[in-house]
């Protein structure tokens, strides 16, 4: 009896493994379809550990957020400076209002680039049209952190809906970008709010 059950058990286990692999493959392809439909960027596969001869990207664009205009912020190592490195930022906002002023804050790490970088920060509407943009060119030095702030004023005529704040850095031949979502809403009192 045991001899008859053992082959069936092995067949059942191998079928379970194939089913699990098949399910994983289907869910993985579903993710790619969802990313394509929603416009989310595809996630690149994780690269194996760095081998000798491979280098870090010249500029790494870590994050971009929108916040209220706050004097003295953003700042590097201004909080708990004696204990550990820090970044001071205004609290990122989830909603920006027509006719109001904000700042777009961006944090980058310069691994190996020295020279001029052009940083363009923008607020985009749900169709990826530019609502407002600002640009600045700065001299950068390798092995440093870059913390930028760009003031913006949201026009009272801007479209409402889920938008994006984005910062693109062009440093020589290297172009990097970071972004985050933000809702664009109308102010509740006239003349800005239109039903």
Given this model, what pLDDT does residue 190 score? Answer: 59
Q: What is the mean pLDDT of residues 22-46?
A: 30
Question: Which H helix or E strand runs over 150?
Answer: strand 144-153
d(CA 115, CA 177): 18
Whether residue 16 has a cis bond before it, omega within 30° of 0: no
d(CA 10, CA 2): 12
Specify whether the CB–CB gap between 64 and 123 falls below 8 A.
no
pTM (two decimals) = 0.70
pLDDT band at 187; cut points 50, 70, 90: confident
Burial of 182 (0-12, 13-18, 19+ CB in 10 A): buried
d(CA 118, CA 146): 12
Residue 83, both tokens: 């204990």
pLDDT band at 82; cut points 50, 70, 90: low
Residue 53 is classified by DSSP as T
SS3 content of the chain, % helix, strand, coil (to 5): 20, 40, 40
- pLDDT at position 90 over 50: yes
């Amino acid at each position: 009896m045991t001899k008859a059950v053992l082959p069936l058990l092995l067949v059942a286990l191998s079928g379970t493994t194939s089913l699990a692999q098949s399910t994983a493959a289907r869910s993985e392809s579903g993710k790619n379809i969802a990313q394509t439909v929603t416009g989310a960027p595809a996630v690149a596969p994780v690269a194996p550990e760095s081998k000798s001869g491979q280098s870090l990207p010249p500029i790494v664009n870590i994050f971009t957020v929108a916040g209220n205009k706050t004097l003295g912020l953003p700042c590097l190592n201004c909080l708990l400076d004696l204990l550990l490195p820090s970044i001071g930022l205004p609290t990122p906002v989830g909603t920006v209002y027509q006719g109001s002023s904000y700042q777009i804050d961006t944090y980058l790490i310069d691994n190996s680039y020295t020279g001029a970088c052009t940083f363009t920060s923008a607020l985009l509407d749900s169709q990826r049209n530019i609502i407002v943009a600002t640009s600045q060119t700065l001299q950068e030095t390798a092995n440093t952190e870059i913390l930028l702030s760009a003031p913006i004023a949201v026009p009272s005529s801007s479209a409402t809906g889920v938008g994006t704040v984005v910062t693109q850095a062009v440093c020589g031949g290297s172009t990097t970008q970071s972004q985050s979502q933000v809702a664009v809403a109308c102010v509740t009192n006239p003349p800005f709010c239109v039903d």
